[in-house]
Each structure stands twice: as structure tokens, then as C-alpha cells.
Structure 1
């Protein structure tokens, strides 16, 4: 299963495909059918690019993206959830298809049972996604 997830995700902004060249990501780098997590507000810094076709990442630590997400883009045709805990646990933020959040410091948050938690910060709290 990890191999399947590995085939669907790409971290941009670190080392690109062995090129050794660091790159800055941008919102426009998030393509069709992709979910993109960004290290900085306003879609800046490193980007984790996830191809949506059934891809869930139960632990963002393996992608060196645990607890560092500050903005997110959902270019997939499905609603997604970004979870606070590893293994799709804890509170979460959900994004409808095409939705973007430039700043996760004041967003609608839900409890793991789907009930409303309130508006609060989710900056640097993402640990899994599905």
C-alpha cells in the first residue's frame, strides 16, 4: 500500500527528482485531480502534491510534512479531509472540490465524529489526509 501512495505523491520544494535544485512551489503548481499542501501561508514554501485517485496518506511524517501545513488546495473532484492526528484521527478541516484555503490559522474545524468544533487555528497541525 505504501508503494501505491508513493506513486501518487510528490514533494516539491525540497529536492526535485534528484536534480538537487530547491524550488519554491506556487498555487498554480497544483494540477487537476490533485491535492496540494503548502508549508507556508498563501501557497508558498514546499508543497506536497497528492494525486487524488484513491490516495489517502495516514502519516504525513513519512513525507516530511507532518505538522507544517499552512495552506491547502483541493483540485480533486472529491471533498477531502485534513486530519490533526496520524491515522485519520482527531479534529479535521474539510475542503470541497476546487476549494482553497490560503491561511489555516482561522478555519472551520470538525470533531472526528463529524460534529462541529468551531473556528480555530489548524496551522501546522495536519498529520494525515484522505
Structure 2
């Protein structure tokens, strides 16, 4: 007999394999972000809660589902790919670009791009990330 799972369960199971929301340690650190991972941190200087993206190339349409919408203050890209942090859900709005190996300890003053790829300027992106790709 074949059992069919509801679509929400299947999507949740796939998403859980792609991303790990680190609950331990209570206070994350830069060293908690391993090789081939992209890590978003709630606080400046790689502190607070950490969202750890472990599947390279994974895009997250809406960080609200991971309880990480609009709270990112620092980020590490330990992956071999360029990563974008978007202001809006669904990879919309302005974005910050991180090249492989790049770290930003404080998103309050960073280079921001418009969604069409043109340069917007240097401004704050603190607590503004709603999706990643």
C-alpha cells in the first residue's frame, strides 16, 4: 500500500535537509560556521542565533518560515558560490552580495545592489534580510 504525504510535509522534509537552524550553542560564534556553509547570525560579530545553510545552491524564498526574517546582523559565506541576501521575500528588492569566503561582521554599512544588479550605494542592511539565494 502506498502512502501519500501532504505536500506541506514533503516540502518541510526537503527543507529540513537543506537548512539547519542552530539552537546550540545559545550564543553562536564565527567558528560555528563550518566549511561549505552559509551562516546568518542574529547579532553583530557572528553572535546570537545562527541559521546554517548546509546545502550549497539552496535558495530560501522566505526566512519567516525559519524564524529568521528581518533579524540578520552578520553573515559568513564559507561556500564556493556567491550568495545574495535579499530585502524582500521571493528574492525581491535590494540585495547584498557575498563572494566565496566573504564575511560581514556588521550589516549596518554595506554595499547594496538594486534587484536589476545596478549599484544602489552603501547603506544599512541590518535586520532587512528576508530571503537568500
- Per the normalisation by structure 1, the TM-score is 0.90
**What are the within-5 Å matches in structure 2 for residues 1-130 of structure 1?**
1-13=11-23, 16=24, 23-130=26-133
Encode CA deviations 1:5-54: one digit per residue, 9 max, x unaligned: 221211123xx5xxxxx621111000111000000000000000001422
Post-superposition offset of 1:3: 3.1
Larger radius of gyration: 2
Encode CA deviations 1:99-128: one digit per residue, 9 max, x unaligned: 000000000000000000000000000000
Corresponding pairs, count = 123
Distance 2:28 2:93 in 1: 28
Gaps of 5+ in 1: 17-21
CA contact (8 A) 1:34 1:49 kept: yes
- Per the normalisation by structure 2, the TM-score is 0.88
Aligned alpha-carbon RMSD (Å):
1.2
CA contact (8 A) 1:5 1:56 kept: no
SS at match of 1:84: strand
Distance 1:54 1:110 in 2: 20
Distance 2:68 2:14 in 1: 18
Gaps of 5+ in 2: 1-10
